[in-house]
Structure 1
């Protein structure tokens, strides 16, 4: 949703996420538990990342794609001893439950369970989050790779990665502990980051969202989610299309940040002179001005390009969540 200005509380929380520590309640995001013996092989075949290389205590981001490699959702997966926990976007849980279920065949030992209502999810965001995690008793996770996680205090999972490009942690816990842990983190000095402030940070950092940047119109390479794709793991849904695009450098458009001179409408055409070269997919207003995300045709150019977004002038800038090069 577009934001109309930003209030003082949100501005302070965004500042805390950059310089101190903020906490965002993401409990309305979906959580799917995938269990039984074939769970790793199944998820390996249904999404872009390499699940078979992961061990319990590790995790990754992965993209659920259609057979033609169109994006459905950006999902974070945590490998537990006896299951895989998927953290999915707020409006995607029911759809993904049904979509995954279609690919479970008679002989497959795979069970899906929607555990959204039984659990809660928080994001700790900012350089001060290490100190909070230490005080929670999960100091052993500090400095570990993205997606690594450990379980403390009767089922509180603390995982590396805030869900944004900012440093931080994701907490998944039984709903019965939600209020107590939330209060404890606020007492440790974290500022509450509202859903609206999260969305502002999401846009500023370029995290794609379903129905906006993740739709049937775009594939993961266009989005810039290279870090979620294994190019060596072999066959999975959408793999042929992604391999072909990568091999032949066939990516026709890329997701970029756009610094704007004035407000703009989501869905506005992005133009270079008289030629339409893209579309605005997200928009926010911040204390520093106006900002959007949009897809721009590869041939038009990238960082520094001056464009018109509707009637507004804009400049293309990098956003840290996505990249447009094959990672080394």
Structure 2
């Protein structure tokens, strides 16, 4: 794994989807179709938001950036086509909103590491060190215009660079020339699990809702109606979250979808697993009544201990 927390690395995430929303109703539309409060945002700001079904089952966790005339949403690679079709189904003839898949037009490169703010300032002569996560602005280098956004999508210091596809190789070479090491997709996946960022088809499926996945920071409880709002509000009001996503330290490898057991009783399921420099680590949904941090569990042939993970929260 090439990532070192005290340095800076980059990961080419150009396989991820980028959806573009335009038209005068774009904010109202996204406000009504996902969990966060788009009406309170201004150009140059951004947020993480969750697209859910009418029963609050999770479709994807997206990162959205507001520009002067559009919203760009970064979505998981295997959710791109599904979301495009699903979202298009909620655009009616009188809506002034257009949805386009612009994934082929842009490359997405993510910088990660404690030195990334200094690197951004050195290369692009802009200071984003005190800017909130989600804030973004255009930068120009060697006649290339790109968008730089605060946040790595992993709860680690970093930035997303949205670059015209034809200029992506130049920016990658620039980073390498400045001694920035490249992470591959396997390293990204390892970091994702260690940080606890839920992923579609693993932690984010129609079996789970955003509160169970610990995505409280992506949800506005004051914004009013949106798809899935009634279910989420009811779960919050009546303490209805019956299972929760946890990190799990493991002593043996184990496959995802293996049941989590406590005293021969199934209390959850493992959703992801990876091997890191500090040992084996996984993510698992566990029933709240079974216990929390420090709980010892059996998962297949492995013994595990539940631990909190940085990306998610329990409220």
| TM-score above 0.5 | yes
Provide, for residues 191-248 of structure 1, a one-character-per-residue CA deviation record: whole Å limited to 9, x for no partner.
Answer: 1111000000000000000000000000000000000000000000000000000011
Root-mean-square deviation (Å): 0.8
CA offset at residue 140 of structure 1?
3.0
1:138/1:158 contact within 8 Å kept? no
1:110 aligns with 2:100: no
Please list the CA deviations of residues 79-121 of structure 1 after superposition, one character each: whole Å capped at 9, or x if unmatched.
0000000000011111111111000011001101111111000
Consecutive aligned runs of 4 or more in structure 1 exceeding 4 Å deviation: none
- Whole-Å Cα distance in 2 between the matches of residues 74 and 227 of structure 1? 11
Q: TM-score normalised to the size of structure 1?
A: 0.94
Structure 2 residue ranges without an equivalent (≥5): none
The answer to whether residue 302 in structure 2 is matched with residue 312 in structure 1 is: yes
Query: Residue in 2 aligned with 1:4?
Result: none
Higher helix share: 1
Cα separation, 2, equivalents of 1:62 and 1:166: 18
Give the alignment of 1:1-328 within 5 angstroms.
Answer: 10=1, 13-14=2-3, 16=4, 18-153=5-140, 154-325=144-315
Maintained 8 Å contact 1:260/1:292: yes
**Mean CA deviation greater in 187-196 or 240-249:** 187-196
Aligned residues: 312
Aligned-pair CA distance for 1:189? 1.9
The farther-off stretch of 280-289 and 224-233 is 280-289
The CA distance in 2 between the partners of 1:277 and 1:233, in whole Å, is 34
Change (3 A) 1:237 1:138: farther
For structure 1, the 5+ residue unaligned runs are: 1-9
Tell me, yes or no, if the aligned pair for 1:147 and 1:160 is still in contact at 8 Å. yes
Q: Answer whether contact 2:117 2:127 (CA < 8 A) is retained.
A: no
The whole-number CA distance in structure 1 between the counterparts of 2:235 and 2:301 is 33
- The CA deviation at 1:138 is 5.0
- 2:30, 2:102 → 1: CA distance? 17
Structure 1 residue matching 2:211: 3-state secondary structure: helix
SS state at 2:77 partner? coil
Aligned-pair distance for 1:141? 2.3
> Does the Cα contact within 8 Å between 1:141 and 1:150 map onto a contact in 2?
no
CA distance in 2, matches of 1:321, 1:143: 20
Q: 1:142 deviation in Å?
A: 2.3
TM-score by length of 2: 0.98
